[in-house]
Amino acid sequence: MPTILVVEDESNILRLIEFGLTQAGFDVICVDSSEDARRVIDDKLPDLVLLDWMLPTMSGVDFVKVLRANNRTADLPIIMLTARGEEMDKEMGLNLGADDYITKPFSPRELIARIKALLRRRTPHKSDHVVQVGKITLNPAEYTVSVDGVLINFAPTEFKLLHFFMTHTGRIYSRGELLDLVWGDHVFIEERTVDVHIRRLRRELEVVGVSDYVQTVRGVGYGFGAV
Protein backbone atom coordinates (compact mmCIF):
# COMPACT_ATOMS: atom_id res chain seq x y z
CA MET A 1 0.00 0.00 0.00
CA PRO A 2 1.70 3.25 -1.12
CA THR A 3 2.12 5.94 1.52
CA ILE A 4 1.11 9.48 0.53
CA LEU A 5 2.28 12.46 2.58
CA VAL A 6 -0.20 15.36 2.25
CA VAL A 7 1.13 18.81 3.19
CA GLU A 8 -1.80 21.26 3.29
CA ASP A 9 -2.64 24.00 5.79
CA GLU A 10 -6.34 24.34 4.93
CA SER A 11 -7.97 21.79 7.21
CA ASN A 12 -11.14 21.28 5.15
CA ILE A 13 -9.13 20.52 2.00
CA LEU A 14 -6.74 18.33 3.99
CA ARG A 15 -9.56 16.18 5.38
CA LEU A 16 -11.23 15.91 1.96
CA ILE A 17 -7.98 14.69 0.41
CA GLU A 18 -7.36 12.31 3.30
CA PHE A 19 -10.81 10.75 2.93
CA GLY A 20 -10.51 10.35 -0.84
CA LEU A 21 -7.04 8.82 -0.76
CA THR A 22 -7.91 6.47 2.11
CA GLN A 23 -10.96 5.27 0.19
CA ALA A 24 -8.71 4.66 -2.81
CA GLY A 25 -6.52 2.34 -0.72
CA PHE A 26 -3.57 4.61 0.09
CA ASP A 27 -1.89 4.96 3.47
CA VAL A 28 -2.18 8.70 4.19
CA ILE A 29 -0.12 10.95 6.48
CA CYS A 30 -1.38 14.52 6.90
CA VAL A 31 0.59 17.55 8.11
CA ASP A 32 0.02 21.30 7.77
CA SER A 33 3.55 22.67 7.39
CA SER A 34 6.83 22.02 5.61
CA GLU A 35 8.57 21.66 8.97
CA ASP A 36 6.24 18.83 10.03
CA ALA A 37 6.61 17.26 6.61
CA ARG A 38 10.38 17.28 6.98
CA ARG A 39 10.13 15.41 10.29
CA VAL A 40 7.94 12.75 8.70
CA ILE A 41 10.32 12.37 5.75
CA ASP A 42 13.36 12.21 8.03
CA ASP A 43 11.74 9.27 9.83
CA LYS A 44 10.71 7.35 6.69
CA LEU A 45 10.29 8.26 3.05
CA PRO A 46 6.71 8.25 1.75
CA ASP A 47 6.01 6.99 -1.77
CA LEU A 48 4.72 10.40 -2.91
CA VAL A 49 4.18 13.92 -1.53
CA LEU A 50 1.16 16.14 -2.23
CA LEU A 51 2.47 19.59 -1.45
CA ASP A 52 0.52 22.83 -1.20
CA TRP A 53 2.17 25.87 -2.81
CA MET A 54 1.22 28.35 -0.08
CA LEU A 55 2.30 27.17 3.37
CA PRO A 56 3.20 29.03 6.58
CA THR A 57 6.88 29.67 7.38
CA MET A 58 8.34 27.76 4.42
CA SER A 59 6.37 27.74 1.16
CA GLY A 60 5.81 24.56 -0.81
CA VAL A 61 8.03 25.90 -3.58
CA ASP A 62 10.92 26.47 -1.18
CA PHE A 63 10.37 23.02 0.33
CA VAL A 64 10.64 21.44 -3.13
CA LYS A 65 14.06 23.08 -3.47
CA VAL A 66 15.13 21.60 -0.13
CA LEU A 67 13.95 18.11 -1.08
CA ARG A 68 15.59 18.17 -4.51
CA ALA A 69 18.91 19.35 -3.04
CA ASN A 70 19.13 16.28 -0.78
CA ASN A 71 20.33 13.02 -2.34
CA ARG A 72 17.93 10.99 -0.21
CA THR A 73 14.85 12.90 -1.44
CA ALA A 74 16.07 14.04 -4.87
CA ASP A 75 13.84 11.51 -6.66
CA LEU A 76 10.86 11.63 -4.29
CA PRO A 77 7.68 12.01 -6.41
CA ILE A 78 6.00 15.39 -5.74
CA ILE A 79 2.66 16.81 -6.91
CA MET A 80 2.04 20.50 -6.21
CA LEU A 81 -1.43 21.54 -5.01
CA THR A 82 -2.29 25.19 -5.51
CA ALA A 83 -4.91 27.79 -6.33
CA ARG A 84 -2.37 29.44 -8.64
CA GLY A 85 -3.34 28.41 -12.15
CA GLU A 86 -1.26 30.74 -14.28
CA GLU A 87 1.05 29.07 -16.80
CA MET A 88 4.07 30.96 -15.43
CA ASP A 89 3.44 29.62 -11.91
CA LYS A 90 2.94 26.10 -13.23
CA GLU A 91 6.18 26.33 -15.19
CA MET A 92 8.01 27.61 -12.10
CA GLY A 93 6.82 24.72 -9.95
CA LEU A 94 7.82 22.13 -12.55
CA ASN A 95 11.17 23.77 -13.21
CA LEU A 96 11.98 23.71 -9.50
CA GLY A 97 11.48 19.96 -9.36
CA ALA A 98 7.78 19.13 -8.94
CA ASP A 99 6.69 16.14 -11.04
CA ASP A 100 3.12 17.29 -11.55
CA TYR A 101 0.83 20.20 -10.75
CA ILE A 102 -2.90 20.27 -9.99
CA THR A 103 -4.96 23.43 -9.50
CA LYS A 104 -7.64 23.88 -6.84
CA PRO A 105 -10.50 23.17 -6.93
CA PHE A 106 -9.85 19.72 -8.34
CA SER A 107 -11.77 16.49 -8.71
CA PRO A 108 -10.77 13.80 -6.18
CA ARG A 109 -11.00 11.30 -9.02
CA GLU A 110 -8.55 13.32 -11.11
CA LEU A 111 -6.17 13.66 -8.16
CA ILE A 112 -6.17 9.90 -7.55
CA ALA A 113 -5.61 9.23 -11.26
CA ARG A 114 -2.66 11.64 -11.34
CA ILE A 115 -1.15 10.03 -8.22
CA LYS A 116 -1.44 6.52 -9.67
CA ALA A 117 0.03 7.66 -12.99
CA LEU A 118 3.03 9.27 -11.27
CA LEU A 119 3.64 6.23 -9.07
CA ARG A 120 3.58 3.97 -12.14
CA ARG A 121 6.00 6.26 -13.91
CA ARG A 122 8.43 6.69 -11.03
CA THR A 123 8.15 3.26 -9.38
CA PRO A 124 7.15 0.76 -12.08
CA HIS A 125 8.09 -2.23 -9.88
CA LYS A 126 5.16 -1.32 -7.60
CA SER A 127 2.57 -1.57 -10.37
CA ASP A 128 -0.01 -4.34 -10.71
CA HIS A 129 1.10 -5.32 -14.22
CA VAL A 130 1.83 -8.98 -14.92
CA VAL A 131 5.59 -9.55 -15.35
CA GLN A 132 7.30 -12.38 -17.22
CA VAL A 133 10.99 -13.28 -17.29
CA GLY A 134 11.89 -16.50 -19.06
CA LYS A 135 9.66 -19.26 -17.71
CA ILE A 136 8.48 -17.25 -14.67
CA THR A 137 5.22 -15.28 -14.67
CA LEU A 138 4.36 -13.03 -11.71
CA ASN A 139 0.96 -11.42 -11.19
CA PRO A 140 1.17 -8.83 -8.35
CA ALA A 141 -2.56 -8.09 -8.37
CA GLU A 142 -3.43 -11.75 -7.77
CA TYR A 143 -0.26 -12.43 -5.72
CA THR A 144 0.67 -15.45 -7.82
CA VAL A 145 3.88 -16.80 -9.34
CA SER A 146 3.98 -19.62 -11.86
CA VAL A 147 6.66 -21.41 -13.85
CA ASP A 148 5.40 -23.04 -17.06
CA GLY A 149 1.92 -22.91 -15.52
CA VAL A 150 2.91 -24.48 -12.19
CA LEU A 151 2.02 -22.23 -9.24
CA ILE A 152 4.66 -21.56 -6.58
CA ASN A 153 3.92 -20.22 -3.11
CA PHE A 154 6.14 -17.45 -1.74
CA ALA A 155 6.28 -15.72 1.62
CA PRO A 156 5.60 -11.94 1.36
CA THR A 157 9.26 -10.87 1.50
CA GLU A 158 10.41 -13.39 -1.12
CA PHE A 159 7.46 -12.41 -3.35
CA LYS A 160 8.42 -8.74 -3.06
CA LEU A 161 12.07 -9.54 -3.72
CA LEU A 162 11.21 -11.63 -6.79
CA HIS A 163 8.92 -8.88 -8.09
CA PHE A 164 11.71 -6.35 -7.77
CA PHE A 165 14.22 -8.61 -9.52
CA MET A 166 11.83 -9.39 -12.38
CA THR A 167 11.21 -5.69 -13.01
CA HIS A 168 14.90 -4.77 -12.67
CA THR A 169 16.83 -7.31 -14.73
CA GLY A 170 20.14 -6.53 -16.36
CA ARG A 171 22.22 -5.28 -13.44
CA ILE A 172 23.66 -6.37 -10.10
CA TYR A 173 22.42 -4.80 -6.84
CA SER A 174 24.39 -4.65 -3.62
CA ARG A 175 22.81 -5.81 -0.37
CA GLY A 176 22.47 -2.19 0.75
CA GLU A 177 20.67 -1.23 -2.45
CA LEU A 178 18.28 -4.16 -2.11
CA LEU A 179 17.50 -3.20 1.49
CA ASP A 180 16.60 0.35 0.40
CA LEU A 181 14.72 -0.61 -2.76
CA VAL A 182 12.89 -3.74 -1.60
CA TRP A 183 12.59 -3.47 2.18
CA GLY A 184 12.32 0.33 2.15
CA ASP A 185 14.19 3.39 3.30
CA HIS A 186 15.11 3.56 7.00
CA VAL A 187 14.51 -0.14 7.62
CA PHE A 188 17.20 -1.05 10.12
CA ILE A 189 18.10 -4.68 9.53
CA GLU A 190 21.41 -6.39 8.87
CA GLU A 191 22.58 -6.54 5.26
CA ARG A 192 23.20 -10.27 5.74
CA THR A 193 19.41 -10.64 6.07
CA VAL A 194 19.30 -10.21 2.29
CA ASP A 195 21.37 -13.41 1.93
CA VAL A 196 18.80 -15.35 3.96
CA HIS A 197 15.93 -14.26 1.73
CA ILE A 198 17.96 -14.89 -1.43
CA ARG A 199 18.54 -18.48 -0.24
CA ARG A 200 14.81 -18.93 0.42
CA LEU A 201 13.97 -17.49 -3.00
CA ARG A 202 16.46 -19.85 -4.69
CA ARG A 203 15.09 -22.82 -2.75
CA GLU A 204 11.54 -22.21 -4.01
CA LEU A 205 12.72 -21.65 -7.58
CA GLU A 206 14.90 -24.77 -7.45
CA VAL A 207 11.78 -26.94 -7.10
CA VAL A 208 10.72 -25.89 -10.61
CA GLY A 209 14.22 -25.80 -12.08
CA VAL A 210 14.85 -22.06 -12.42
CA SER A 211 17.00 -21.27 -9.38
CA ASP A 212 19.83 -20.24 -11.73
CA TYR A 213 17.81 -17.14 -12.67
CA VAL A 214 19.11 -15.65 -9.40
CA GLN A 215 22.65 -14.46 -10.09
CA THR A 216 25.35 -13.92 -7.48
CA VAL A 217 28.47 -11.85 -8.03
CA ARG A 218 30.72 -12.56 -5.06
CA GLY A 219 31.65 -9.43 -3.15
CA VAL A 220 29.25 -7.29 -5.21
CA GLY A 221 25.65 -8.44 -4.89
CA TYR A 222 22.75 -10.08 -6.68
CA GLY A 223 20.97 -9.86 -10.00
CA PHE A 224 18.29 -11.73 -11.93
CA GLY A 225 17.70 -12.99 -15.46
CA ALA A 226 16.72 -15.97 -17.57
CA VAL A 227 19.65 -18.24 -18.37
Per the DSSP assignment, residues forming a β-bridge with 146 are 137, 151
Distance CA 134, CA 209 (A): 12
Architecture label for domain 131-224: Orthogonal Bundle (1.10)
Q: What's the confidence (pLDDT) of residue 50?
A: 95
Tell me which residues of the chain have a pLDDT lower than 70. Answer: 84-96, 121-127, 184-189
| Domain 3-122 bears CATH identifier 3.40.50.1980 | no
Three-class secondary structure assignment of the chain: CCEEEEECCCHHHHHHHHHHHHHCCCEEEEECCHHHHHHHHHHCCCCEEEEECCCCCCCHHHHHHHHHCCCCCCCCCEEEEECCCCHHHHHHHHHCCCCEEEECCCCHHHHHHHHHHHHHHHCHHHCCCCEEECCEEEECCCCEEEECCEEECCCHHHHHHHHHHHHCCCCCECHHHHHHHHHCCCCCCCCHHHHHHHHHHHHHHHHCCCHHHEEEECCCEEEECCC
Q: What's the confidence (pLDDT) of residue 82?
A: 82
* Span between the terminal Cα atoms of the chain, in Å: 33
List the domain boundaries for the chain: 3-122, 131-224
Instruction: Judge whether 213 and 205 are in contact, CB under 8 Å.
Output: yes
Distance CA 7, CA 30 (A): 6
C-beta neighbour count of 11 within 10 angstroms: 10
Q: What's the confidence (pLDDT) of residue 86?
A: 57
Listed residue (191, 149, 7) closest to 82, CA to CA: 7
The pTM (predicted TM-score) of the whole model is 0.61
